């Protein structure tokens, strides 16, 4: 049997369509396997990237800075259980030690983490851990809120529901510094 010239991702999409009772040879679906395979390659681009790399450089901490907060920036990811999207907003606070990192570096770190199959609960903790490890922060606190397609568009079909998660690392796990960080991200 000659080798199949179609890449494995495209073959998998064709098999999924067949398994769902859809004819992958329907003219409307002619390029669907290529499109879906390319989409998943993009959606999972962070799988082999180091999420701490963008955080390794920064500026000296301004005197008196105790907590740095960045509020309500958007993210999106793919649910590891259903391979459906979830998206929402995230706010972070961190305690810098030697350097503050750029906003773009923080966002790039989240982009790396969120372009992996994820559960929001894990993503929240991974982001807090990455800020501590990559930025050399003494602590980080992350709050996420997201709408999950796996709940909104299938199963219970609760379109208005949102999942909220909070995770912390380092000296923001508990105590007064945690309360200060929560005030910084929640007002």
Full set of structural domains in the chain with CATH: 8-43 (no CATH), 50-186 (3.30.1130.10)
The predicted structure's pLDDT at residue 187: 74
Q: Which residues pair with 60 in a beta bridge?
A: 99
Q: Which residues pair with 74 in a beta bridge?
A: 89
Q: Does the pLDDT of residue 3 top 90, yes or no?
A: no
Spatial distance between the Cα atoms of 167 and 129, rounded to a whole number of angstroms: 9
Coil/strand/helix, residue 21? coil
Number of H helices, E strands in the chain: 6, 7
pLDDT tens-digit profile of 87-134? 999 999 999 999 999 999 999 999 999 999 999 999 999 999 999 999
The predicted structure's pLDDT at residue 29: 97
């Amino acid at each position: 049997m000659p080798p199949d010239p179609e890449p494995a991702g495209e073959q998998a999409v064709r098999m999924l369509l067949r398994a769902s009772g859809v004819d992958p040879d329907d003219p409307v679906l002619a390029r669907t396997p290529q499109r879906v395979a390319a989409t998943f390659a993009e959606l999972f681009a962070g799988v082999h990237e180091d999420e701490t790399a963008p955080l390794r450089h920064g500026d000296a901490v301004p005197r008196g800075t105790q907590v740095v907060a960045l509020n309500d920036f958007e993210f999106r990811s793919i649910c590891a259980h259903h391979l459906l999207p979830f998206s929402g907003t995230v706010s972070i606070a961190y305690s810098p030690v030697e350097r503050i990192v750029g906003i773009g570096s923080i966002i790039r770190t989240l982009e790396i983490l969120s372009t992996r199959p994820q559960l929001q609960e894990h993503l929240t903790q991974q982001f807090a851990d990455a800020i501590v490890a990559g930025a050399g922060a003494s602590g980080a606190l992350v709050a996420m809120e997201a709408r999950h397609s796996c709940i909104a568009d299938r199963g219970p079909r609760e379109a208005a529901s949102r999942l909220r998660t909070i995770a912390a690392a380092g000296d923001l796990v508990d105590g007064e510094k945690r309360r200060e960080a929560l005030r910084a991200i929640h007002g």
